[in-house]
Every structure is written in structure tokens, then in C-alpha cells.
Amino acid sequence: MSKFQLKSIAHQIKFAILSACIAWTATHAYACTGIILSSEDGTVVPARTMEFGVDIQSDLYAVPAGTEIKTLQANPDQEGFTFETKYGFVGANGFGYPIILDGMNTEGLYFGAFYFAGDAVFGEVSDENRDRAVSSDELGNWILGNFKNVEDIREAIKTIELVGSYIDVIGGFAPLHYTVVDAHGGAVVIESTASGLKIFENPVGVITNNPTYDWHLTNLRNYIGLRSENREAITVGDLNLSAFGEGTGMLGLPGDYTAPSRFVRAAAFVETALPTQTADETVFQAFHILNAFDIPKGAVRAPTPEGVHTDYTIWTSAADTKNGTYYFKTYLSQAVQGITVANALEGLDAPKFITSETGFNVTDRTNDF
């Protein structure tokens, strides 16, 4: 049985770097977008982009079943509780730190963390709650390690105290909200705000960032005229007017990178996506939809004392919850790569990291002529 504890100074330094980036991004740009698609064969595919103003150096992280995980391990002055994982999981971390920001377990349960700065409010660790306290950055470990469907999480999450794990030298915590999707199509958004912990159904298969999830659903009412079909020609007085070209049904679709605009755009693309027959087709479609949310370096900028930081798409992922394959591509490695979760965990007796970056590679087809 492996021990999953942050003991080394190196790990503490890595977390301090991560926390510093978290504190910085609380007042600067971040623009993650998540969607959920389904195929005719019953495959559910959650997918998302990860945007940040700095490279969070995500690696791929595998945690086998039977691993002992200690909560609140980021802060050496705090002690939480230890749980043993029932299910193994694979996903993306940040800065070498042993947490899952995005991933899937062996049961096809998917978890994704999205920035929620300004709205996220968590409790504080106390002697009364430390035996059930889970830090906001560690929720992915707890969910993927313990559950196989959304229904089980609804009640179980009430038994823990979701806290902000403060670091004295940083004075900040991970301001996140979360999406959880299971292989049967169950999908929820979990938010902890000043109003308390809330679990929202995800009826449109979309998540972005602020404001709260119910606000985004209400905001969709401003866009009920959007449609995939082109507008027909009209007559104004004696003048016949027809469109210049394609796309008139989506006229008014917001195209900027703010969270409300991305939510509307993602909802429109998910709703109008053509039916797919298989898991592979659905994963392929998910990556194509999310291409429309890629942020190139330089398009979103924020001045800081250290210089101008620019938000950009660091990586994109998709999870085939039926067949247990986790897919991803990165800023440098644009070719989609995949990991079969069960096979990756086979034989592992301790958590393991592998690099997600393979570099920018171009296939030379010159000699094919």
C-alpha cells in the first residue's frame, strides 16, 4: 500500500509556486471552457480547455486503487485525514503537485476543476472539522478515489468540509468550482460560495467560470433566437434583402473570451452538434468544438508588476467515459494523445507522473509523392 504524503521540501516549494500562480490569477485572466457530448451508442464524453496566464506545467498523473491519500497536505502546519482510494484514476495535475485538476477513474467518473475566483468561498480548517476537511485543490483526489457515479457524490459530499487551504506566505487558496460527469450521463456542477455549498444539475452540458452556474443558465434566455439554420430573405418596403452568406442563424453569438460569452457559445455549439454514432466520433467532435475556444498567446493580456501576462490555452482534454480512455493535447503537442485508464494503472503500486509534453512535431509528407 503506497503512502501519498507531501513531505519533501521540493514538493512544498512546488506547491508554493502553484499557490502563487493561484493568487495571481485571482485578479487576472483565466478562461477554461467545458462541454459534454453524447453519442448514439451511449458514450458520454466530457471535454474541456485549460487556460492560464502562466504555464502550470501539467503532467499526467496516475493513482492506483489502494493508495493512501492524506488531505490538507499542502500546508505543513495543518493535518487532515487519510483515506484509501477505492478506484484508481488518471489525469492532469499542476506544477508537479499530487492533485488532479482534470481526470477520470476506472469507473468512468470524470472530474474537472475550473477557476471561480471572486465567487468561491470555502470554510477554514479548525480542530472541529479537520477530521473531515478536504482542501479546495484536493477535491478531485477525493471524488475520483471514492466514487463511481454522480448520485453517490450528492450525499457523500455533505460529510466533508470543503476548505480553503491557506498558505501563510501566499495568503491564498485555490478558488475553484467543479464539474463531475459519470458514464451514465449524470452531470453536476459543484460550487461553494457565500451562500453555501450547492450542487447544480448541468442540463446544457457546459461550464465556464464566473458568475455562479445558475446565473449562466438564466443568461441563456437572452440568446433564445440563435439557431443553426440560416435566416431567410425578407422584404422591407419594396426592398428584398438576403444574407451576404452563411451563418446568419448565429448572428449575435458572442465571440469574446469572457466566461459568460464562452458559456453561451459553448451551449450553442453543443446544442447544434451533429449526432455521432461512436465514442471515437464523439471525442473527435469534442476536440473540434473546443478548437473554437482556443486562446492564442497575446489575445488576452493583463498588466502586472512583473510585466504583461497573457492568458492562453495550455491544454485540452476529453474523456471517453464508456471505454475508459482519457485524451489530451497540449499547447506544444497538438496531436491528440490517449491513455487507457485501466491499462495505465495495471501493475502500479504507487502514484506515478509522466510528462504530458512531447514537443511540436510535424510529419513530413514530401517523400510520399
Euclidean distance between CA atoms 70 and 87, whole angstroms: 16
Please name every residue paired with 35 in a beta bridge, in sequence order, or none if there are none. Answer: 47, 206
Question: Which tens digits make up the pLDDT trace of 109-161?
Answer: 999 999 999 999 999 999 999 999 999 999 999 999 999 999 999 999 999 99
Residue type, 82: T
Euclidean distance between CA atoms 252 and 78, whole angstroms: 50
CATH 3.60.60.10 is held by the domain 3-211+272-360? yes
Residue 204, all three cell numbers: 446544457
188 in helix, strand or coil? strand
- State residue 359's pLDDT score: 84
Q: Which long-range contacts (CB under 8 A, 24 or more apart) does 286-289 make?
A: 286/35, 286/37, 286/45, 286/47, 286/318, 287/47, 287/316, 287/318, 287/327, 287/329, 287/336, 289/35, 289/37, 289/47
Contact 160, 153 (CB under 8 A): no
Residue type, 318: A
pTM, rounded to two decimals: 0.90
User: Does residue 8 register a pLDDT over 80?
Assistant: no
Residue 249, all three cell numbers: 442563424
Q: How many CA atoms lie within 13 A of 35 on its CB side?
A: 29
- State residue 111's pLDDT score: 98
User: Does residue 43 register a pLDDT over 50?
Assistant: yes
Among residues 17, 18, 32, 72, the one annotated as catalytic is 32
- Please give the full DSSP string across 159-174, using - where no structure is assigned: GSEEE----TTT----
Active site residue 32: yes
Residue 95, all three cell numbers: 506544477
User: Does residue 283 register a pLDDT over 80?
Assistant: yes
Nearest Cα residue to 177 out of 156, 154, 161, 200:
200
Please name every residue paired with 44 in a beta bridge, in sequence order, or none if there are none. Answer: 38
- State residue 228's pLDDT score: 94
What are the structural domain ranges in the chain?
Answer: 3-211+272-360
User: Does residue 27 register a pLDDT over 50?
Assistant: no
- State residue 19's pLDDT score: 42
Residues with Cβ within 8 Å of 361's Cβ and at least 6 positions away in sequence, in order, are 333, 335
Question: Which tens digits make up the pLDDT trace of 327-359?
Answer: 999 999 999 999 999 999 999 999 999 998 878
